[in-house]
Structure 1
């Protein structure tokens, strides 16, 4: 799925009115121009950071969702999860997850941008140069926008999973449960992507803008950044890169839920067998 993320980022970072050989008219055009002008391997530039990020990111997402769910049920005196609590729990888990992913996202964005191709030789080089030139806290540039991005995606994702599971017939077999999880997770991933893409566009621009002493960045805070993009480029610009993003995170949300459920069942069975 990673090439879709590269294309998404390139399209999101492209300024309004861009022209020339590297101006992208859409997802397919971006794919073609990257391969033709930079080589196929460019579609995988920066992949080390997200590979290292995936395990702690997903573990944090579901562990936090479980812990926040128990906390909010106790706070509101609910024995079982409800639709509203699913949304609140997902948002809380998203905020927790954001603190884990920000440095990895910053490295990934700077390596994916074509303009940065000559600046950095790899992940370690990005970290060293960012810390040396901008300070250690620069690794958390875009934290606020990342928080909002993950809050909205996880609220939509877990909220939709709860609702879809309530609406579709209960599965009586393991295969049926897998199908239900694919449907619920894919719907959740799609809705989450619709909700958070404007914040993702702004986050990409914030993290790709080096901090310069004495200068206020054009994109600095999430919602003012959203307003700037909408004013200068039109509302549609807030959904730049939406197609490759939803193609990755829609089905990806279904796969994520199936794998999580399957692994939890696997480890639960192992523990029960050991105790027996």
Structure 2
């Protein structure tokens, strides 16, 4: 595994993930809006079908795509780099600390990279615009300043940085179990 491969596979995983999560993100964002008149998730889904057909649930797909590509590329690329900088684990405890550290830093970097696209995604899904991410980022910076790219960043990073650490702990623990159960050549 190289850092380039970690970044590339992370980006590919994020791209794939975006196709699954976009409809759920659309429903969530529309229900969280303080001016929402939707009665619940099924009401949002029905409205999307009535107004835009089945693909209406994929409004904001492009910005969701970039949000997930940047988070996963940043997360997995950072994990690979940080693990190389940390001391080689000499105990199970040190291995857990290394994974928690690398995953937490990866979650921080991934969140820092993807938050501007999360801001765009939320606006597109709330307003129903077909605006593309990169031009929207330029427009937001011109109208509101660069700080607007990071609206909601603090609670997001406080959730996703430690969440990235826990994620890596679970992945590594389960991988060890599967390697042990499968035996050679997986050990």
TM-score between the two structures when normalised by the length of structure 2: 0.92
Structure 2 unaligned residues grouped into runs of 5+: none
Give yes or no for the alignment of 1:239 onto 2:150: yes
Structure 1 unaligned residues grouped into runs of 5+: 1-80, 211-216
Give the aligned partner of residue 260 of structure 1: 171
Give the aligned partner of residue 23 of structure 1: none
TM-score between the two structures when normalised by the length of structure 1: 0.63
Give yes or no for the alignment of 1:82 onto 2:2: yes
Residue 131 of structure 2 aligns to a residue in which SS?
coil
Residue 120 of structure 1 aligns to a residue in which SS?
coil
Give yes or no for the alignment of 1:106 onto 2:39: no
Give the aligned partner of residue 45 of structure 1: none
Give yes or no for the alignment of 1:97 onto 2:8: no
Question: Could you say which structure has the larger radius of gyration?
Answer: 1
CA distance in 2, matches of 1:239, 1:232: 14
Distance apart, 1:271 and its partner CA? 4.3
Question: Which deviations, in whole Å up to 9, do the C-alpha atoms of 1:173-205 show, x marking residues without a partner?
Answer: 222211111100000010111111111100010
CA distance in 1, matches of 2:109, 2:173: 23
Moved over 4 A (4+): none
Q: CA RMSD in A?
A: 1.4
Give the alignment partner of residue 113 of structure 2, picking from 195, 202, 205: 195
Residue 35 of structure 2 aligns to a residue in which SS?
helix
Distance apart, 1:132 and its partner CA? 1.4
How many pairs are equivalent? 183
Give the aligned partner of residue 139 of structure 2: 228
